[in-house]
Amino acid sequence: MALALGLAGMPLHAQGAPTAPPLAPVDATAHRGVIDDTWIIAPKRLADATLDAVKNYADEGDIAAGVSLRYGIDHAEWVIADVFIYPAGQGDEAKMLARAVQDFRESVAYAERQEIYRNVWWGDEAPYTAKLAGGRRQEGRFLPIVFDAQRDMLTSRTYLFYRKMYYVKVRLSTTVEAVDSLAENADRFITSLLDGIDIVSAGSCGRKMDVATLAAGQSPPSDMPEGVSSDGYRVLLKSTKSGMPAYGADTTKTMSLAAKRQVAGGCTTLPYNPPLEDDNRTVLHLQFGPDDWGASAQPSN
């Protein structure tokens, strides 16, 4: 029996279990929009770099620009490592990366028109694959440029990635005399960064949860042995003799797993308690208005 209800009153802690009550109805206004809030969680220390500075562009009224992080790379203080994380929207990875490349090229062209950059030379654009922990891979694009900025000829390697409805732009820059050091440091830095950062959004996520009950004695299907789909948006709960969900430890466990899988995918419709900033991580918060992402996880600005 399908249930047309949302789920509330069940805060999910970053590393903990939800608290009672495990299941409660919530009206359609529980979320302001597709994305209400996003938290960018970044390590202050990577395998070969230390976080030196952060900036939240929402503080300046430019939430579409997201946040930036600047890392200092060990034994390569002449390399500037800037990371930009900003809203992208939902879409096919290849198409989203193509749009990111176009946006980046346009931003450089704008800097040329403003004479911030001069004598820009573009190298060959190429696909780039970051090899992450556990055999995972993150596909991206690589764009090298050389340009004249503030009396120095600089060389820059930009890497663009799309994950969890956000773009991640990594830009490593130095003087042309030290160009070899960019290639030497890039792969290790990018792998450590992408393994370390997390992006978690809360909102309607442009989706609806499918919550259903299992008849007494009925087992979940083989593709949902734990009663939860791989993305956390389909849930099967045990029922009472009357056909209503059976509240209790089993339901709490099932809903906790659903929330965990939604968070792992980058966007959850369930209440989420982000981790606090501490000595090991910085936590940057973006809070959106109801229309900022439109009706289909596409930023309007």
Average pLDDT, the chain: 85
pLDDT computed for residue 9 by the predictor: 31
**Dist. CA 222–CA 242, nearest whole Å:** 25
By the 10 Å C-beta count (0-12 exposed, 13-18 middle, 19+ buried), 250 is classed as middle
**C-beta of residue 211 within 8 angstroms of C-beta of residue 235:** yes
CA pair distance 171, 157, nearest whole angstrom: 6
As annotated, the residues of the chain forming the CATH 3.40.1000 domain(s) are 37-201+276-287
* CA atoms within 13 A of residue 216's CA, in its CB half-sphere: 6
Q: Do 173 and 156 form a contact (C-beta atoms < 8 A)?
A: yes
Give the CA count within 13 Å in the CB-facing half-sphere of 200.
Answer: 23
Report the pLDDT averaged over residues 256-277. 93
Query: pLDDT digit string (tens) for 68-116?
Result: 999 999 989 999 999 999 999 988 999 999 999 999 999 999 999 998 8
The tokens for 176 are 């042309």
| pLDDT at 51 > cutoff 60 | yes
Alpha carbons within 13 angstroms on the beta-carbon side of residue 73 total 24
CB atoms within 10 A of CB 122: 12
What's the average model confidence in pLDDT over 156-182?
93
Q: What CATH architecture applies to the domain 37-201+276-287?
A: 3-Layer(aba) Sandwich (3.40)
Q: Where would I find the H helices in the chain?
A: 93-113, 179-196, 249-265
Look at residue 248 and tell me whether its pLDDT is greater than 90. no
Average of per-residue pLDDT across 237-253: 75
Report d(CA 242, CA 280) in Å as an integer. 50
Task: Judge whether residue 223 has pLDDT over 50.
Answer: yes
Do 21 and 5 touch, CB atoms closer than 8 A? Answer: no
